[in-house]
Structure 1
Amino acid sequence: MPLSFPVPRTLQILCIGILISALAGPVIAYELTTDTGTIANGDPVTLRGIATGHPREGLQVWVIGKNYLDISTIPVNNDNSFEFELKPSETLNLASGQYFVVVQHPMMNGEFDIYYDAASGKVINRQMGADGNTIYTMSGAGSLQGPASANALVSAISSQNVDDTFTTYTFFISPPSALIYPIGDHAVGDRFTISGSTNLAAGDQLMVEITSSSFQPTRKTADGGFSGSAGTATVVPGQGGNNRWSFDVDASEFKPDEYIVTVKGITVDVTGSTVFMIREQSPAPLITQEITPFATTVIATTIPVPLTTTPAKSPVPAGLAILGLAVAVMRKVRR
């Protein structure tokens, strides 16, 4: 069942995130090393914050999960700061699931009015009765588990006859994962980025290896034909419960082949893998340019046509005209 923590009467949430300040009296405020609330086995859980009032008993930290209980007292430094950490060795073997953290401040009387009795496995309210009053069983037979136990603890600290205050946090433990987003095919010479998601903590390192699937060990005198890449990727904060990582690839020296990408944790045991193809670089396309012929300007010219004059025909045949002329001459001579 989901856990809904009530806000204590002395506390008020001021903003999104987990910054809490008191209306009166000492203050507990803290920040977290993870923004996602999802922790991989083998990663630490660290809470840092401020608790004013210099409680001589320090702060009491309750970590509650299914079949898991850890109660410890941590000091408050002179500058009012405090820090609590579940080390990697402690989270490594935690079962997957939700965990609840309650940070308890003793407030004015300097005592934890709600405390855990290890001998009986019960949670006691010391303000009720001479020897205190049992609130519920936290461990052992008949004990409350997980969210039911955390809700009961918060209700006990919120009791009207208890001046303690608290703040809360939840996180999830899950097996380490490193996922690789689909890469798609690329060509020789491409530059691209391989990326993915992980539940490892921001700042963790991943080893990324890219190898040709046809690569095989050869004698040192032979050309093994290896092409690929390797390096590290740093996990950065993400959203939706997972962080992100990315790795840049320059395929200028790659040979056409199928390639295997392997992602491995350096400090946490986790592995992910996938494949993609590098193909021959496509030849540069021929650039065709349409050539437009020069425009020809035709200049219209008018060439005068010589006129041919045809003499008018005489109505008298030429022969008769000559004969008439000869007769006229002869008559003139005779005279």
Structure 2
Amino acid sequence: MNINTMRATILIILLAFMVTPVAASVYYTSSAPQIITKGDTFTISGTSAKNGMVTIWIIGRNYFDTFTATPDRFGNFSATLKPTTTEKFSSGQYAVLLQDPGASGTMEIEPGTDSSGNLTIMNRGKIIERIGARQDLKGNVQPVVAKLMDAAKIQNVDDTFLPEYFFVEEPSVQFDNLISVSTIHLPDQITGERIAITGTTNMGPENSLRAQVYNRNTNALITSNTLPVVAGNHINRWTYELNDPGLPQGEYYITVGWTKSNQAGTGLAKFTVKDPTHTTQTPLPFSGIEKEIPRDDVSTLLFLTISGVLILILIVFAVGKK
């Protein structure tokens, strides 16, 4: 191979490497794949960003935002949204788009606004798509994502977009072992014994929960504890424990909720604490003199009665004959 051919080959390889789009992945703390809870920390990270700074677009219901991330010398980058940001999310589908500038190292496609303040998509400062008002963005983000993907196909635009999707849920708490979902009643507890109540939540392990036990008759607060959220295989869990002697006999209810809010993400369940000496006994079968006679015994009694009568008749007949 001559030197000119070698140089051309190296140049082609370098160009091919430079225009390779960002190979990114989205990571976040949640209880289920592709689901985050309002108030959870949300981390976006990626690799192989060799063309310079990347732009991250987040689009969802009533939400539209972009920000940049600078990769390290290996092309790795990361950006974290704090709970104060994800608290503003609405329930529904969201899209994260990672925009790579391509070989030019410059973003041709950018977000913008028109004279009315409505959201737009721009190509080198010129409006090419009108998205509309931020408050009019719906839960279905696919149409907006499609507009960005189409913008990347415009002639002389070498930006590339990699979309990822996730769903946002309101914080929620569930109880294990409910006897009745409609009456939200837990199994009875025994006074003098340790109390353990468990459940699940869609909130991430960086959150804490507040458990409060109230008397159902007076609504008086009996006890309050802070509970950690423990990461699970498929869903995160929590446990409330009250060591012996537990609680006095009575009717109670427990609330378990997000420490950051008194309204969102709170579950409630009822339970009864009983005295172990006042347990209900299963009635024993009646054993009086009135008792049903088995059918076999009736047949035997009838046979013996008839036999006795026949013997008596024979005796009378024999005596009369003498």
TM range (shorter): 0.5 to 0.7
**Structure 2 residue 44 is matched with structure 1 residue 41:** no
Q: Cα distance, 1:86 vs. partner?
A: 3.1
In the alignment, what sits opposite 1:296? none
In the alignment, what sits opposite 2:111? 116
Aligned partner of 2:131 among 132, 138, 149: 138
TM-score, normalisation: structure 1: 0.60
In the alignment, what sits opposite 2:144? 149
Work out the percentage of aligned pairs sharing the same amino acid: 29
Amino acid at match of 2:50: G
Q: Report the secondary structure of 1:108's partner residue.
A: coil
Alignment length (residue pairs) = 245
Aligned pairs for 1:1-335 within 5 A:
25=20, 27-35=22-30, 36=32, 37-53=34-50, 55=52, 58-78=53-73, 80-119=75-114, 121-125=119-123, 135-140=128-133, 146-157=141-152, 162-181=157-176, 182=178, 183-191=186-194, 193-214=196-217, 229-238=223-232, 243-269=236-262, 270=264, 271-282=266-277
Distance 2:94 2:247 in 1: 47
Amino acid at match of 1:266: T
Distance 2:194 2:173 in 1: 23
Q: Report the secondary structure of 2:85's partner residue.
A: helix
Distance 1:93 1:236 in 2: 24
Structure 2, gaps ≥5 residues long: 1-16, 179-185, 280-322
Larger radius of gyration between Structure 1 and Structure 2: 1
Amino acid at match of 1:43: D
Q: Cα distance, 1:109 vs. partner?
A: 1.5
Q: Report the secondary structure of 2:142's partner residue.
A: helix
Structure 1, gaps ≥5 residues long: 1-21, 218-225, 285-335
User: How has the CA–CA distance of structure 1 residues 157 and 216 changed in structure 2, closer, same or farther, with 3 Å as cutoff?
Assistant: closer
Amino acid at match of 1:46: T
Deviations 1:233-290 (A, max 9, x none): 22234577x6332223434342221122121322244332211011112599xxxxxx
Q: Cα distance, 1:135 vs. partner?
A: 4.5
Kept in 2, the 8 Å contact 1:194–1:248? The answer is: yes
Aligned residues: CA RMSD: 3.6
Distance 2:217 2:244 in 1: 16
Distance 2:247 2:137 in 1: 59
TM-score, normalisation: structure 2: 0.62
User: How has the CA–CA distance of structure 1 residues 234 and 151 changed in structure 2, closer, same or farther, with 3 Å as cutoff?
Assistant: farther
Kept in 1, the 8 Å contact 2:24–2:98? The answer is: no
